[in-house]
Amino acid sequence: MFTTRPEIAATFGAVGSTHWIASQVAMAVLERGGNAFDAAAAAGFTLQVAEPHLNGPLGDCPIIIHDAKAGAQHVICGQGPAPAGLTVGHVRDGLGLDMIPGTGLLPAMVPGAFDAWATMLRDWGSWTLADVLEFAIGYAARGIHYVPRIAATVESVRPLFEQAWPTSAALWLRDGGPRAGRLWRNPELAATYARVVREAEAAGPDRVAQIDAARRAWYGGFVAEAIDRFCRGTEALDASGRAHRGVLSGDDMARWRAPVEKPLAYDYRGTTILKCGPWSQGPAMLQTLAILAGFDLAAMDPVGADFAHHVVEAMKLAFADREAFYGDPDFCEVPVGTLLSEEYNAERRALLGAAASLELRPGRIPGHEGWVDHGAAARAQKLSEVAGVGEPTVSRLGVSGADTCHVDVIDRWGNMVSATPSGGWLQSSPAIPGLGFCLGTRGQMFWLDERLPNGLKPGKRPRTTLSPGMALRDGRPWMAFGTPGGEQQDQWQPIMLARMLNHGLNIQQAIDAPAFHTEHWPSSFWPRVARPGKVVLEGRYAPEVLREMLARGHQAEMGGDWSEGRLSAVRQELDGQIFAGANPRGMQGYAVGR
């Protein structure tokens, strides 16, 4: 089978990520004696400089790791919770909003990425924070190559920056703004991380003490103070069309540290798939596989209509359950045991017929109401009716076009990391003076109803779309994998995995093969729209596949030839070989290894 590049084979170590610079940074760490945790952290901080439109220092980052020495897997929850001042009463009653806006200061959560990386580095890494941050500081200070999409993103929000967000204009529009193919410096970001390093090293020579000092500087020191000051003193125009202050405070940040949890697991075709808990959408992938386990996917053409139909219909059922039941388990009882049980998924599987369903059908679980939003399709219709009428309002700029990053690493000792950093996008919130970056907007994923599993409450984690993955075989770590893509993350991942486990494709073959997605259920992002029955097939599908999907009742259409998925993955086989692959779409993702 033709692939756009080879599946990388190695024995020393391998990396796959969404940007070639991040992949090479991680590999450089491995070559200098660092382990997978050091390498992934260095790559993660570098991605903040290389892809600021896709992630930032004040964003989020869930991580799944395999600790080879202990033979154990852990989830590091880099998803921060809602501030104490962000309540339903404040947003709905005080401000008169029916949704948390998708941009600005109001949707800012406690930023989770820094402490997730720092926790992993402290507890499982071997390098100092200074050594890990050296790459990101160097690129920010001296300049890093910008791909065209970054310059295009800045141009798309130029009116917003010029008219409403002066701090972002000062940072991103200086000297005319970034230009594709040129180097771009962010001296403020470099100075922020350099100060973090200085404060870390002031704690003495002990590596762990230095990392803890850096965490204090971030969450209780000068970074938190700058955030607190900016949120209190700034009203920022957001997607609601009005200006609002942020409610995130230094106290919110000082009270939080990234928790370490046990991953959820599901066995599919002799492989154990690991995902983050129901504060993420990750369990929806496990449910999709549980429903598909009753079908003979191996007998289906992996690029045929029958395969696409079954996977789409299984995802519709799993994501309906996401809408109905998922939320922060610290605040609500999520029936995970039932949702992943064979008995329950046999009932769900029985709903999957020969024709496409246009309904949003959550399951029924005693003791759980199972509410889902049925207004998402109407919102989508309203948006389509006004699309193209006049110029977009400045307040709506920055809402669309944001995405995510991903990095996977395996080292020579068998340690593994799968991490999905996102949020803190340059176009989503005004830059904080003196820091060189902005806050995240993950709060837009809450519903303004405290009774719901994903209803807003102070201290509660929003149900994020970020979803790294890991897989075991016979109890041994086998593969780390993931992708950007918001709602599509746990669509493209089961497609890749199903093709590998049912059809024998390797990583690169499974990534390169044409994929698809559906927009059937409500989006997690403002303004929370849905397009029931819509399926987008990548343009390289045969025309007869589109015809058959339409005949089955799907609202199917063809997308671009290389438009679906930004997957990467690394795996290790019994003979010690390490294999890696990365996405050719967008011409950024790369896998490296030796």
Give tens-digit pLDDT for 463-483: 999 999 999 999 999 999 999
Which pLDDT value is given to residue 404? 95
Q: What is the mean pLDDT of residues 3-21?
A: 97
pLDDT at 377 over 60: yes
Taking a C-beta distance cutoff of 8 angstroms, is the pair 279, 327 a contact? Answer: yes
Mapped onto helix, strand or coil, the DSSP state of residue 571 is: strand
Contact 454, 327 (CB under 8 A): yes
> Tens digits of per-residue pLDDT, 415-455?
999 999 999 999 999 999 999 999 999 999 999 999 999 99
- In the predicted model, what is the mean pLDDT of the chain? 97
DSSP class per residue in 291-358: HHTTS-GGGS-TTSHHHHHHHHHHHHHHHHHHHHH-S-TTTS---HHHHT-HHHHHHHHTT--SS---
Between CA 80 and CA 62 the distance in angstroms is 10
In this prediction, residue 170 has a pLDDT band, given cuts at 50, 70 and 90, of very high
Q: In the predicted model, is pLDDT for residue 389 greater than 90?
A: no
Residues 56/103/587/159 CA torsion (nearest 10 deg)? -110
Q: What's the pLDDT tens digit per position in 346-364?
A: 999 999 999 999 999 999 9
Q: Is 436 helix (H, G, I), strand (E, B) or coil?
A: coil
Better pLDDT: 398 or 549: 549
Structure tokens at 106: 């109001």
Whole-structure pTM value: 0.97
Q: In what order do the strands lie in the sheet with 8-10?
A: 8-10, 578-582, 568-572, 476-482, 469-473, 271-275, 264-268
pLDDT cut 70: percent of the chain above it = 99
Residue given tokens 């005319």 in the structure block: 176
> With the CA atoms of 377, 380, 382 and 384 taken in that order, what torsion angle do they form, in degrees rounded to the nearest 10?
-140
The pLDDT confidence band at residue 130, using thresholds 50, 70 and 90, is: very high
Mean per-residue pLDDT for 132-139?
98
Q: Is 99 helix (H, G, I), strand (E, B) or coil?
A: coil
Is residue 246 within 8 A of residue 105, CB to CB? The reply is: yes
Which pLDDT does position 505 carry in this prediction? 98
What are 60-82's pLDDT values in tens digits? 999 999 999 999 999 999 999 99
Structural contact between residues 217 and 223, judged by C-beta atoms closer than 8 angstroms: yes
Length of the chain: 594
User: For every residue of 496-543, which 3-state class applies, written as one string?
Assistant: HHHHHHHHCCCHHHHHHCCCEEECCCCCCCCCCCCCCCEEEECCCCCH
Q: Is the pLDDT of residue 7 over 80?
A: yes
Sequence-ordered list of residues with C-beta below 8 angstroms from that of 240, at least 6 positions apart, any chain: 97, 101, 104, 395
Closest CA to 592 of 32, 181, 50, 22: 22
